[in-house]
Amino acid sequence: MSGLPLLQILLFSIIIALGGVCDGIGYTRNDFPSNFIFGSGTSAYQVEGAANEDGRTPSIWDTFAHAGYSQGDTADVACDHYHKYKEDVQLMADIGLDAYRFSISWSRLIPNGRGAVNPKGLEFYNNLINELLKHGIQPHVTLVNYDHPQALEDEYGGWVSQKMVKDFVQYADVCFREFGDRVQYWTTVNEPNVFGDGSYDTGIAPPQRCSPPFGVINCTRGNSSTEPYLAVHHILLAHASVVRLYRENYQAKHHGFIGLCIYAYYYVPFSDTKEDIIATQRANDFLLGWVMDPLVFGDYPKIMKENAGSRIPTFTKLESKMVKGAFDFIGLIHYFVVKIKDNSVSLMTELRDFHSDQAVKTRMDEDLFTGAELPISPWGLEGVLEYLKQVYGNPPVFIYENGQRMLRTSSLEDTPRVEYLQAYIGGVLNAMRNGSDTRGYIAWSFLDVFELFNGFKSAYGLVYVDMDDPELKRYPKLSARWYSQFLKRKTKVDTDQVIESEENVFDLSS
């Protein structure tokens, strides 16, 4: 079984928790390597708007939002990044970002999911990429972020069908051919481990496939016992096929890199009992191992295969060889720590789904689906990076999402976000000093974008967007000011001074 010895995992958790982290006063940008990337990010449906313009067709996220599952909000307009991208890129440059992580809308680029490319969609992404490069900002591009075309979902069920592999490869080929000469960093599918769980087991995320009694919605289609495994299996095959395509046809001439983005809580035992410690490792195997084990070792974790049995697909020898090593880097999404309590009695029940296979009870430091502020536990991010280092051979990592959630407000004094960023950037530095091969930090999110579960009720943005203003005017927050000072001055940043200078929050050029 992959993973650290169980006692070592617990011991490391305690060491990290007691060890402390660098704070905002204790480090500068100069403490990071000169080629370390700092940036911020969004995704297509969350920021672009123009949902019904210039040939774009609905994605599964459009369908989800219009059914009322995002607090009644939709992203038909969102932040109107589609029309305001030049203004937004100028803001990025003013803040001093090295990189911008965004996703491409498959529905905008190839409206039917396959076949003809939409000229207007092609023009938009070419313009955006060129504008970024004009301002010295590195594009980091994700191909799919919860938004594959509804046309493919209607035709054959999207990721539950192996037909999706071929269509995804053809879509990726268009992106590499059209944009690859200017994009050096690609990720294929955003957080397939959480997507598999939320979209095909509980049904809380698009395309909302699940089955009673496991789904938390009124399930009308799907199978919670098999489809999470099936969807992620097809995503891994599609990812590996796209990596092979990129390496064979594009990498040598474009000199780029390709990876996969995973979601990671940092799991810690609820108690020091043997049962909770074992459950913590099981949770890690079901969350991280589900994707990382195939990429590094060529197969799923042993405990997953034992618990899921015939419900989890198997790799052929050829597929295993193709998936193993199919990444140049790992994109990491992390926000908070989760405590694990054993519930293995559920493994004895006859009717099982993905969650009962996992057989743990979780106590989250904060509810994932509210607008409440997240606890500041940077040792959790350090712990995930250490786990990747020790278990999976220390792969190159970009932190692609990390940030503080707050209730959406017009107040620009987002001090908790400043404190969160300070702590977690310090945690990344600690992990690097401990040997982690982390290459960049991308704060979530650049703007107050449309969120999956909360719509516009909660926000992570460095920049406030006034949704009541017809022009959707942007207002940089205190966190943007702090980030800008950190990125530009390359000196120790005194948080108190930043907070006291809030009257200059719009002056990002100093």
CB 265 within 8 A of CB 351: no
CB 331 within 8 A of CB 291: no
401 included as an active-site residue: yes
Helix (H) or strand (E) holding 101: strand 99-103
Q: Is it the case that residue 277 has pLDDT exceeding 80?
A: yes
Average pLDDT over residues 276-300: 97
Superfamily covering domain 4-507: Glycosidases (3.20.20.80)
Q: Tell me the pTM.
A: 0.93
What pLDDT band is residue 368 in, cutting at 50, 70 and 90? low
The pLDDT value recorded for residue 359 is: 86
Residue 29 to residue 82: CA distance in whole angstroms: 32
Q: Is it the case that residue 371 has pLDDT exceeding 70?
A: no
Residues 13-56: tens digit of each pLDDT: 444 444 444 444 579 999 999 999 999 999 999 999 999 999 99
Can you spell out the DSSP letters for 343-390?
A: -GGGGGSSS--HHHHH-EEEEESS-TTSSSPPP--HHHHHHHHHHHHH
Residue 374 to residue 83: CA distance in whole angstroms: 32
Rg of the chain on CA atoms, in Å: 22
Instruction: Determine which of 242-256, 355-369, 371-385 has the lowest per-residue pLDDT on average.
Output: 355-369
What pLDDT band is residue 128 in, cutting at 50, 70 and 90? very high
N- to C-terminal Cα separation, the chain: 53
Could you tell me which of 421, 456, 472, 507 has the C-alpha nearest to residue 91?
507
Q: Is it the case that residue 116 has pLDDT exceeding 70?
A: yes
87 included as an active-site residue: no
The pLDDT value recorded for residue 362 is: 72
Q: Point out the catalytic residue in the list 153, 227, 319, 401.
A: 401
Q: Is it the case that residue 232 has pLDDT exceeding 60?
A: yes
Residues 6 or more apart in contact with residue 99 via CB below 8 angstroms: 37, 38, 39, 137, 138, 139, 140, 185, 440, 442
Query: What is the CB-side half-sphere exposure of residue 253 using CA atoms within 13 A?
Result: 9
Q: Point out the catalytic residue in the list 191, 227, 319, 382.
A: 191
Which amino acid is located at 352 in the chain? R
| Whole-Å CA distances, 108 to 42, 103, 378, 469, 475 | 16, 11, 37, 26, 28
The pLDDT value recorded for residue 216 is: 83
